[in-house]
A and B are shown apart, each in its own frame.
Chain A
């Protein structure tokens, strides 16, 4: 395009455009300089600057989570001892996108973005962060859960391109024994609905939550546009549809309640609800925000814990299941909370 003859006005317009390009570069540089000196991110970085590195999960009730404070330790799994009121973070040697931990066994799901194509994998670890088995994943991590007895782990990933339209996603959920052995794919389990066999090609499973025995579990089944709560047994390889309108269930430690995501009637998003398994009644929690998207964990018998956006980045919130009390932010710059009581 260099050989073109240019008239006077056209030439001045080109110069104006070049001036605009220069101004754009300066604007971006100015924005970066102005915003990096902001105190907020420095304070967040200092949250991990003095954090101790630990080589074993402490005894007692702890919360594991992904450290999202900016700095070199971003993405590392951190531990907070629940007995400590300030929940100061202790950094572990492992980095994960999603983590869950119970009874001395943990599952860590991660993406390897260092080289192309991006690969996804997971591993099982013990209280000393020793790796026990590595599992190749077929898509980006979504949900991770370890059974309360530490015997099994459930992993959910997104899978693309399994459907007709480019836009739609599907999920795949597998259950592994923490001590090794082949993985079980939930799509291979027999499903029953209203006393009859139930099967369709568009079955999608996600959000497993285990009962104490590590065998019985609840999960989400999506088919034909409806999301169902299913109850199942890993040993028997069976599932039964319980009720519709339930996503990402989380069973309370006493096994009486399930907190789940309910898709909003109007708009896009989810509202957290609690389901009483004995009576079958459900009622909404006071999550305040228009939408919360996480599979919650139980902080104690009356409160759940989940990640959601905070004033800067993402943080961990605790919400009582009474339906009245609003959530409170317990940890800023944190993601994927997992509570272990033993």
Chain B
């Protein structure tokens, strides 16, 4: 079950500090990378809630990310609605879609669950691609950013927007950690571990899964609003199943079911992609090899493996005498 250990706190703290320092010391392009990484941290954390802690590997998180971005873009560009109203509406849009996906797919498992989420994602992608009201394949441009002038912050400034994105990513992580540490989060892990037993204990499993997907969807929607504001443009490409696949790669690279790991994975992928693409056009090949290596060597991801080593070193060996003692007490 989830525990906000010192290792997790230190790693997340270092990650945030690294992003802040990088944003402050680099130019426009570096800050763009930080904003992209922050949005993807939120998306990866949102996916880890359902995939890592709920055992529901979703291939529609790209679509939920896109729904958040599109709700924000349509409200601010087509209808000229204040971004501060569009923001909660986008989060709500992600939550509602997530709840629907969770509720409808809750009885499916394994590959069938993955395929069902893929179908949901592709439906949204194709609908958006073919809908002129949503800009079709051209997308929508002219998305406005949130206005923080009341507190003297200009979000059109790239550094300010990068720091704002990092703050949102940090808040999202804390929220996710709080939920996973609550009764709700504990139950979600119980469902992942043994859904049939949870049902026998009296839990209405589908409602719990749907609620978990709704929370995850809300965070994915928030990530979408950052992406929309960053480029001030949305397109159906962001809803493609490839986006879902890339986020899943980040989660697995960092460490599925560790919460911090996916955040590490998101930053690693964004910055490795940036570095590798400077050397070769075939950077996807290198990323693929890295992913294969991670999966083959331990299956825990970068952060997951480090956490495993550290906790194993600190944990005393299994107290076999306690087991024996308990058994002999029945004699």
Whether both chains belong to one complex is answered with no
